[in-house]
Chain A
């Protein structure tokens, strides 16, 4: 780094009144400056540190840092006094210095002078620490029930996979339910898959209502700051006594709950090691004499905070979902081959909550390359594997296994029986939306002939994934057949023929298929949300781009 250039550039910044100190260190330049603005009565001083990467960013952070511990109560100041700024990219040291000092100036005006409040809720700053060289993470979601100030109880936790965090082992848990000392359990609103998992660990909770912070946003660092009530100390004592023999050394969380925005609750996890709870027994005295009873007192030590994440639906899918009209629909997918499994996975990642699927087929290793299945699961029923894969993605997806025979045998055998037709219509009525991805022309005919009260979408592709054909009930059978037979040029000669029994299939890669399916789903989402007309459509490639042709 060019020390002289940095020194002279800082000195030339108009609102830098004085450079109190500046020195070169092995990998950085450190110093202290006085900033004077018209809006400030007296100058503010800031320590600064410019790291060797400067002017480039490193680990998503600026490689320059300004700090002043006395300003810790202002917004966007870390506990060590560092001001949190994110500025524009520049590869010029002089320009970048001007940008960064101006960002500091803007921060001073906005938060120190004008005392602005941010509209967005900002989570409290918690120093997450490992305990015995291991991190502990806890996911939670909303419960239907409310919590009351000073409420106490136990927490049932399930373990999912271990992770690696900052080079150390991380145990990942999710909260299943809160069980108040006197009251009914409050279940986290996960799907049935997560709700029925075995509880591996029991923690404790204390709903404190107000955030456990100093200066508005820094989590307490010591147990005494929490001001724990006597009944909680007693509960800690009782819990430790019960578990000490079998579980000594086991780490359990004490969840501290508080309100954030509106009725939303956040939980922080203070980690406790059985055998080393921050409590002690103190003999009770009366008139200077021991009564023979013991009271539990707190031993003030440092709090080790674990990691907690609010994984409720709104945050889990906060970055992007399909329209609410689609995500709330009860969906059935018939046929989960390449197209059907991609649709199922995309809808799941898009926030859909109810997806059932049906397929009689077995997943073979050769299915993996272009559908949402994994080699690791071996040969298994497609629906069983897909369900597992989708549950691993979303804790909010609900899916029910359906009878494999329904579409293959039952409906095909009795489709022309008018009385049974009514029954089939009733059977399918619970669904708001059915995707038929079976590519079964007979089933397409049968479903099309039913006067369904649910939306039915038929999706299939031509060989080489040249086109994707999407049709809506009731104009499915006629439209799709006409497209395949008379309009599109479906190549049925250049097929992939695996070794062994004659069973040719189409040629197309995951990329070929997925790009069509994603575009189709984007369009269907618009149709369902009322943004586009419900017209049958064909997607095909033209001039190196994909085109949706409506009919």
Chain B
């Protein structure tokens, strides 16, 4: 019988970033290039840019990861947050888009720079998040920034801005290895199933579950504990998820009642299906076959050919009909 925890361990192993070091270093080099360009352009108007996104938080998985670059602007650099956002966009557009090196576009709170595919077919994508300190000379102490909303998103209106503290968000997950494992698994599920839930939401839910419930045992038991917590709590009226970057921002408010119910149901269904047949765990948390560490004589990923030599005229058990 499939050992769920062992499977999850293999899943995590196969999704490690180390498998794609070449691609990661390409990303890092492009990120550094953008960083240097921005530093050269904005000189004393900015503090030192830093990395965020899943890479910054060590929750990246090799099938989907972001390399975000936060640019903290000083209070007096721009009159408005919108002007700051547009200026960074215009600068990157001129540098990359007009020269045909990359596509530059305004996104929800960031400016996306999508480089043209290289000879390996890799298209590097870096998101630049501009933020402005709240009051003059306070950033280095409190790390608070105002970020701009270019679209109606997460309950905010286009054209407005909000306070956030990206450093606090990164710190929130620091040294939490168990939580990170579960977050990575939930991100694998999100990616496998094409779920629209934000990774940040799954992150906060996982951390809260560990803080509020007793989450222990092996990897499956921990994952199940978090999923159970989400199932039982996300639909409660008084349930909140404070953004560590802004205590006034309740992240759960960005979900309507139906979406919260849906997430609760999905968690319930997953637990039920995996408990009723351990093999179902593969439907939600598959091994990234590209980087599967295969043991000799193992054929776990060869669907339908398990444990038997197959003759030319006998269909395998994954023969579908219709």
Chain A interfacial positions (CB closer than 8 Å to B): 335, 337-340, 418, 437-439, 441, 459-463, 465, 469, 472-475, 478-487, 490, 492-493, 495, 502, 504-506, 508, 533, 535-536, 549-551
Contact = CB atoms under 8 A, between A and B. Distances in A.
B318 A481 contact: yes
B51 to A, nearest CB: 25
Nearest to A336: B322
B262 interface: yes
Interface in B283-311: 283-284, 286, 303-304, 306
Interface string B52-68: 00000000000000000
A474 B193 contact: yes
15 contacts: A338-B322, A418-B117, A437-B322, A439-B321, A439-B322, A465-B321, A482-B286, A482-B303, A484-B303, A484-B318, A485-B303, A485-B317, A486-B282, A490-B318, A535-B266
A335 B279 CA distance: 29
Contact of A461 (B193, B284, B322): B322
Residue with the highest number of chain B CB atoms closer than 10 Å, among A485, A490, A492, A504: A485
A533 B269 CA distance: 11
Residue with the highest number of chain A CB atoms closer than 10 Å, among B266, B282, B318: B318
A485 B322 CA distance: 17
Given A439-B320, A461-B320, A462-B321, A495 B279 contact: no
A544 to B, nearest CB: 20
Contact of B266 (A335, A338, A493, A533): A533
Interface of B: 2, 117, 121, 191-194, 262, 265-266, 269-270, 273, 277, 279-280, 282-284, 286, 303-304, 306, 313-322
Given A482-B282, A485-B304, A486-B279, A504 B269 contact: no
10 closest A-B pairs by beta carbon, nearest first, are: A339-B322, A460-B320, A506-B321, A486-B279, A484-B318, A481-B303, A439-B320, A485-B303, A474-B194, A478-B286
Given A482-B283, A533-B266, A460 B322 contact: yes
Contacts, number: 101
What is the interface of chain A mostly: helix, strand, loop, or mixed? mixed
B283 A475 contact: yes
B192 A475 contact: yes
Contact of B321 (A474, A478, A502, A505): A505
Residue with the highest number of chain A CB atoms closer than 10 Å, among B192, B262, B284, B320: B320
Contact of A482 (B279, B314, B319, B321): B279
A536 B283 contact: yes
Nearest to B287: A478
A183 B262 CA distance: 56
Contacts of B194: 472-475
Contacts of A472: 194
Given A475-B193, A492-B316, A550-B269, A463 B321 contact: yes
A136 B13 CA distance: 75
Nearest to A493: B314
Contacts of A480: 320
Given A337-B322, A338-B322, A418-B121, 17 more contacts: A438-B322, A462-B320, A463-B321, A473-B194, A474-B194, A478-B283, A481-B304, A482-B282, A482-B283, A484-B304, A484-B319, A485-B306, A485-B316, A487-B279, A492-B314, A533-B262, A551-B280
What is the interface of chain B mostly: helix, strand, loop, or mixed? loop
B136 to A, nearest CB: 45
Nearest to B276: A549
Contacts of A493: 314
B299 to A, nearest CB: 11
Contacts of B191: 474
B288 to A, nearest CB: 10
A166 B220 CA distance: 72
A29 B110 CA distance: 88
B305 to A, nearest CB: 8
Contacts of B273: 549, 551
A441 B322 contact: no
B283 A479 contact: yes
Nearest to A339: B322
A508 to B, nearest CB: 8
Contacts of B266: 533, 535
A465 B194 CA distance: 28
Nearest to A508: B321
Nearest to A504: B315
B17 to A, nearest CB: 21
B322 A551 contact: no
A490 B322 CA distance: 13
Contact of A441 (B269, B282, B318): B318
A353 B169 CA distance: 49
Given A340-B322, A484-B304, A490 B313 contact: no
B213 to A, nearest CB: 24
A338 B314 CA distance: 22
Contacts of B318: 441, 481, 484-485, 490
Residue with the highest number of chain B CB atoms closer than 10 Å, among A460, A480, A508, A533: A533
Contacts of A502: 313
A487 B322 contact: no
A469 B283 CA distance: 13
Contacts of B121: 418
